[in-house]
Amino acid sequence: MNISFDKINKIFQRAEKEDRNFLLEYEVYQILKEAGIRTPNFLFLKKGQNIGKKDLDLFKGDHLFLKIVSPLIIHKTDVGGVQTVENNVAAVNQVCSRMLEEVPKRYKNWAKKYEASKKNSELTLKKINEKIRGILLCEKIDYEKTGFGTELLIGLRNSREFGPVITMGIGGVEIEYLNERIKEGKAISVGSAHLLQKKDILGLLKPLAVYDKLVGKFRGKEALITKKELIEAFFRFQQLGAYYSPYESSHPYVIEEAEVNPFVVREKKLIALDAMCRFSKSHQELKKRAFENIKYILKPQSIGIIGVSEKMNVGHIILNNILKNGFPCSKVVVVKPGFKEIEGCACMPTISDIPQTVDLFVLTLTAEQSYDVMKELVEKEKARSAIIIAGGIGEKEGTQALEKNIKALLKRSREEGKFTPVVNGGNCLGIYSKPGKYDTTFIPDYKLYKLPRSKSKKTNLVYISQSGAFMISRMSKLPHIEPLYAVSIGNQIDLTVSDYLNYFKDDDQAKFFGVYIEGFLSSDGLAFARAARNIICQEGKMIVVYKAGRSPEGRVATSSHTASVAGDYSVCRSILEEAGVIIADTIFEFENSVKNISFLAKKNIRGNRVGLMSNAGFESVIMADNLKNSNHEFRLACFSPATKKRISGILKPLGIDRLQDINNPLDVTPVADDAVFAGCVRAILEDNNVDCAVISPVPMTTAMFTLAPGKFHKENLYHPQSIGERLIDIFHETDKPFVVNVDSGEIYDPLVACLEQAGVPTFRRSDSAVKFLRKYINSRLKIHKKYHPILP
């Protein structure tokens, strides 16, 4: 059935006329019915009315629920506001009278004890009575009670970052307790009302801990409900969320939060029992962003800079970094009175004296000076883009007005149709652009890398980081991976993280994105998810995000359970993962992803059948132990008879075939030399039953060359026939993804460096290797299924 939005609007209108921003429970029931969601039979009895026999014909059971209806009393059960009564006129009228007399007294005492505020301490019985509207009569629902998972919650919440989000999960009075103790992704599922498609709802709900119990046979009993019923309930809430969204200004109202807790199952149908809804008219306008002008920041033809001292201050370091990366000094102008040139770059006494508009202007002044410079740049039309380095803007006490004024300056100029630069920062560390041949970070390269540093010829990695320190720390720890761009966005006075993603979606060079985010600006989480989806749907492109600020202290208390169980981090993670983003659980995982996903970009993803191989038994066991977790799974590949025969032939000359059976995981023992080990790797990867592999040569064996040349041994890992060089050759010859693990001490760092410099994903622990590849493969498969269903 179609949702009757016109009828629902009238319900909101009636509440609005009474100066309410929330609905009474019977009004929520009315909305649910108009949305096609089942409720108990119900009747609202106004205060002062009596029930008649004809009224009770609506209810078929022997008993009814009576609920006090008051905008003041939310926790009804605590004050005797919910009662069970026999289904007859005398009993109902008697209990209604008793509730109307006793509940105000109980609520007054309860509020004094549990809600110690001045407002509640002044509550009188008269005021409480005035707030009571009447009694809600509800059909007593006999439903399937199967223990854990009997009750469900479905909630809708307007998230500041993502707009309306839908939550489904375990319901009941102990929802918070259960949510804290069930693995993430198992207690609740969260989806965006604007991004989720109906065909993808089932995949979102399958990981729930109660899913199989609801839709599958449990202890010999038939399924409680069908998949279709579960999907439809979620979808109805999603339709409400999308229609009453803050971004739909043509619709009159915004649902801030709505919840049914619990939903119960009767006769294979979901029925809503307790419900609440809070609404507003707080719409937000989503304006078109000028992200295409980011090209002037990332690929400028001219640069201006202010704040350069003749001594080595921040501005001078940035100037040196710009020139050191190849940007011509003839295209750089420094604003500095009293000087003709610095570092070969022309100096101008004021911004007004700059002869032409520059593509990029870099402000390296204090926070207090930034507004005046930006005002002059805008009024004189001297820059197409700008980077504000200054720290403290909007964060240090007393600087909030500076940020507000800069935002207002840019907004006013754009609204008036004037020439206006796009701005990166403030509080940022700057930007590194390999295509733009410049670096505006204020960290000298000798503080980042061991020099001399060999730069890679080709790169596909883009860093976008809210923290400049986080960004340069990853660059320092991963010096052999030169980014295409590294963008420190700071506190996003103008350009946001989603603006950069939208710009990069059309950049064929940018394949992989490492993003660090602490918090999205209002509605920018939704914009980021949309932009991420547009990038990820392009074959070979991926995004990994580390989201900081995960603690429950950041959650906003509301009147429903939905916000407490679906905190900001849970919402962010769920929506971004649904878009196809890889969420790194730890910084270590983020670094592994940045380092290794770019190496695997050109590999073909066929499936999740994995081949595991080592020359040590413990490695084989540990790798097998990490094939599954709650969200991602590897299947052990079954080697074909031809592959087993081939491997047996490779092992036979060294007698290893007599020591080990040919299984997966394959243990070739420490006896295997370079040629035998590499030969088995080739055999596994050339098996059509194998989609990917984790290869773990424990390097301490004397049978293989794994050490750099030294005076105490004759090994040479750089020899063309060494295991390292052989694995490099195999990696570049096969189109199947595989990773290598070298579990050993620092004397084997040269081997690891050799593999990584050749673009081979390499780990130092076998469990990390398996976990990374498992998450990567399953994420890519999910993307293929969602965006490229015709691909293998």
pLDDT in tens, 21-74: 999 999 999 999 999 999 999 999 999 899 998 989 898 889 999 999 998 887
Average pLDDT taken over every residue of the chain: 89
Please state the rounded mean pLDDT for residues 231-252: 95
Domain end, chosen from 399, 427, 455, is at 427
Residue 260 resides in a domain: yes
DSSP string across 248-282: -TTSS-EEEEEEEEEEEEETTEEEE-SEEEEEE--
Q: Is the distance from CB of 554 to CB of 566 less than 8 angstroms?
A: no
Q: Say whether both 625 and 718 belong to one domain.
A: yes
Percent share of the chain, pLDDT over 70: 91
Per the structure, the count of domains in the chain is 5
pLDDT at 550 over 80: no
Per the structure block, which two tokens stand in for 468? 């400049």
Q: Which residues pair with 682 in a beta bridge?
A: none
Question: Same domain, yes or no, for 99 and 248?
Answer: no
CA atoms of 696 and 739, how far apart (whole Å): 8
Half-sphere exposure of 791 (CA within 13 A, CB side): 17
CATH code, domain with 336: 3.40.50.720
- What pLDDT digit, counting tens, does each position of 383-417 carry? 999 999 977 665 556 667 888 999 999 999 999 99
CA distance 211 to 654: 52
Let me know whether 738 and 682 are in one domain.
Answer: yes
Asked if residue 720 and residue 654 are part of one domain, the reply reads yes
Does residue 667 form part of some domain? yes
pLDDT at position 788, please?
65
Last residue of a domain, one of 78, 106, 139: 139
Residue 719 lies in a domain: yes
Residue among 496, 435, 428 nearest 462 (CA): 435
Q: Quick one: which H or E segment has residue 97?
A: helix 89-114
Residue 448 lies in a domain: yes
Question: What is the predicted pLDDT for the residue at 175?
Answer: 56
- Same domain, residue pair 298 and 265: no
Q: 734 and 639: one domain? A: yes
**Alpha-carbon distances of 632 from 206, 535, 778, rounded to whole Å:** 13, 22, 6
Q: In terms of domains, do 360 and 398 share one?
A: yes
- What pLDDT, on a 0 to 100 scale, did the predictor assign at position 785? 83
Q: Looking up tokens 């009747």, which residue turns up?
A: 43
- Cα–Cα nearest to 428, from 499, 470, 498, 490: 490
Let me know if residue 145 belongs to a domain: no
Model confidence at 792, pLDDT cuts 50, 70, 90, reads very low
Tens digits of residue pLDDT in 207-217: 888 888 888 87
**Amino acid (1-letter code) at residue 291:** F
414 and 469 inside one domain: no
Q: Decide if pLDDT at 115 tops 70.
A: no
Please name the helix (run of DSSP H) or strand (run of DSSP E) that holds residue 599, with its range, or none.
Answer: none
Task: Return the half-sphere exposure (C-beta side, CA atoms, 13 A cut-off) of residue 108.
Answer: 15
- 488: domain CATH number? 3.40.50.261
Q: What is the mean pLDDT of residues 288-311?
A: 92
The CATH number covering residue 182 comes to 3.30.470.20
For helices 617-625 and 766-787, give the axis angle rounded to 10 degrees. Answer: 40
Triad 632, 633, 639: Cα angle to 5°: 155
Does 375 share its domain with 454? no
DSSP secondary structure string, 319-369? HHHHHHTT--GGGEEEE-TT-SEETTEEEESSGGG-SS-BSEEEE-S-HHH
323 plus 415 within the same structural domain:
yes
Pick 563 or 430 by higher pLDDT.
430
- Please write down the long-range contacts of 467-473, taking CB distance under 8 Å and 24 or more positions apart: 467/516, 467/518, 468/428, 468/429, 468/430, 468/441, 469/429, 470/516, 471/429, 471/516, 472/429, 472/441, 472/443, 472/448
- State which residues form the domain around 417: 290-427
Say how far apart CA 223 and CA 443 lie, in whole Å.
62
Any domain includes 28: no
Question: If we measure between CA atoms, which residue out of 647, 623, 637 comes closest to residue 697?
Answer: 623
Q: How much is the pLDDT for 765?
A: 94
Examine residue 382 and state whether it is found in any structural domain, yes or no: yes
- Residue finishing a domain among 139, 168, 185: 139
- The radius of gyration computed from the CA coordinates of the chain, to the nearest angstrom, equals 32
**762 with 679, same domain?**
yes
Instruction: Look at residue 33 and tell me if it is in a domain.
Output: no
Q: What is the pLDDT of residues 131-150, one digit of tens each?
A: 899 999 999 888 777 666 67
Residue type, 766: S
Residues 156 and 122 occupy one common structural domain: no
* Beta carbons within 8 Å of 474's beta carbon, 6+ residues apart: 463, 514, 590, 591, 594
